[in-house]
Amino acid sequence: MSINNNSEFKPKIVAFCCNWCSYAGADLAGSSRLTYPADVKIIRVPCSCRVNPMFILRAFEKGADGVILCGCHPGDCHYTSGNFYARRRMTLLFSMLDYIGVENGRTRVEWVSAAEGVKFSATMNSFVEKIYSLGKNVRLEDLRCKN
Amino acid sequence: MQELITRAKELLADGTVARVLGWKAGDLEYNPQPAFFTNEKELEEFVYNGFCGANLSKYMIEASKLEGKTLICLKPCDSYSFQQLMKEHRIDREKAYIIGVGCKGKLDIDRIKANGLKGVTGVTGAELTDDCEELCVTTLYGDKKIPYADGMLERCSVCKGKEHMICDEQIGESKDTKTGERFAKVAAVEEMSSAEKFAFFQKELSKCIRCNACRNVCPACSCRKCVFDSTKFDSAQKANVDSFEEKMFHIIRAFHVAGRCTDCGECSRVCPQGIPLHLFNRKFIKDINELYGEYQAGADIEAKAPLTSYVFEDVEPSVVAERSKS
């Protein structure tokens, strides 16, 4: 959409992290002194499957420029199968968001285990970089009528 | 139609069914409405013609709670919805006596009018016994003939087939009406740029008056308590003057029926604003077909629903980005 190359642009990025893997991974990234941009706001969820598609719509409606969901690697879910369901749901939701005009670069799912502090930091860095290159998001809140 | 009425009377008389669920004439000739009939006299009002687009399967949810069997008339496409509701344990097969009625394509009065016809007072040539090649439209300015296909609902031109998924007996002949590719429009939207897509959907959805007709008619929207009627919305509360559900209504609704939508097209048929709501549902169906294998909700009662099952080798969500590049 309207790419605003204004240097003032500070993206709002929401990261949903599962309690058992990715949140611990973020913790490890912190204690390992690895850096990732402060634009990322982490929300801890019990499982990646807890993320109702509405949460993501909600984030975009409230003006998020990107949403990333992190969970345990497939097969490693603390609740056995939560991330499998999340994977299908998110695939369809992201495809739908792309369909209504939110570029697919703004949505991502990444599997980060508790031991992968390096991967967490690298993922966040690359995701934020991607959002900077995409610029400001469409105003999803205007989908039904322009405010 | 007479055959159908005679059969319904017979079944009422011998006590097989306690009531008949069908269509009766509405206030205008071209908008029959769903109705229950309990005796022979009421059945005189029964109609079945090209304008009986309404899908009756959802009414069976209430009828399942009543005493005795209900005779329900199902068109081929309605039988998918019926079977899907059975699968979800929302209706009781034992409480229904199903007559599969033939279908030669259902009509849309707005499309008929779009042929440049004004002052329409009546349409003939749409009875089940007609060959449905040509419609005779009576208007205040004289009669006019148009090809049947020019007055048909969009969903009938991409028909899933005229075979009943479930029925006890069949009455009336069907005729193949498929002329177009079901996912053509979805594919056309996918080809647009992000800005064009957003503008397209903003234009369409801005027409919405939130009458909830699409939700009320949808056979997949059968929750006892709908999330949109809740005072404690999952991620927004009405008391907080939050417009989240207003703005995201269509996307949320489409997602709620993803994997269960049989693509019966009722949402688009009832929309008073003419929003092509089926484009959302079809997008999900298209994705499910491409990513998780061909799946038609309501076709197979034993099949696993795509969103409540998984395999280890499922594609990663990044496939969305890869697909749109290629």
Beta bridge pairs of residue B142: B139
Residues 99-138 of A with CB under 8 A from B: 99-105, 107-109, 138
Nearest to B100 by CA among B83, B75, B118, B127: B75
- Kindly report, residue by residue over B220-267, the tens digit of the pLDDT: 998 888 888 777 665 556 555 567 777 888 999 999 999 999 999 999
Mutate to test the interface with A, among B196, B251, B253 (most CBs of A within 10 A): B251
**DSSP H helical segments within B128-206, as ranges?**
154-157, 184-190, 194-205
Contacts for A11 with CB less than 8 Å, ≥ 6 apart:
A39, A65, A66, A128, A131, A132
- Kindly report, residue by residue over B145-194, the tens digit of the pLDDT: 888 888 889 999 999 888 999 999 999 888 888 888 999 999 999 999 98
The whole-angstrom separation of Cα B55 and Cα B34 is: 8
Task: For residue B174, give the DSSP letter.
Answer: -
pLDDT at residue A120, rounded to an integer: 95
CA distance B307 to chain A (A): 7
0.95 exceeded by pTM: no
Beta bridge pairs of residue B123: B137
Average pLDDT over residues A81-93: 93
The whole-angstrom separation of Cα B256 and Cα B203 is: 23
The length of chain A is 147
- Kindly report, residue by residue over B86-113, the tens digit of the pLDDT: 999 999 999 999 999 999 889 988 888 8
Sign of CA dihedral B277, B281, B287, B289: negative
Amino acid residing at B22: G
Q: Is A76 in the B-facing interface, judged by CB distances under 8 Å?
A: no
User: To 5 degrees, how large is the angle CA B241–CA A45–CA A88?
Assistant: 95
Contacts for B105 with CB less than 8 Å, ≥ 6 apart:
B50, B132, B148, B149, B152, B153, B156, B157, B159, B175, B177
User: Which of B199, B234, B287 shows the shortest C-beta gap to A92?
Assistant: B287
Element (H, E) at B83: helix B76-87
Q: Quote the mean pLDDT of chain B.
A: 88
Check whether domain A13-135 has CATH 3.40.50, yes or no: yes
CB pairs under 8 A between A and B: 132
Residues in chain A within 8 Å Cβ distance of B202: 142-144, 146
Q: Is A143 in the B-facing interface, judged by CB distances under 8 Å?
A: yes
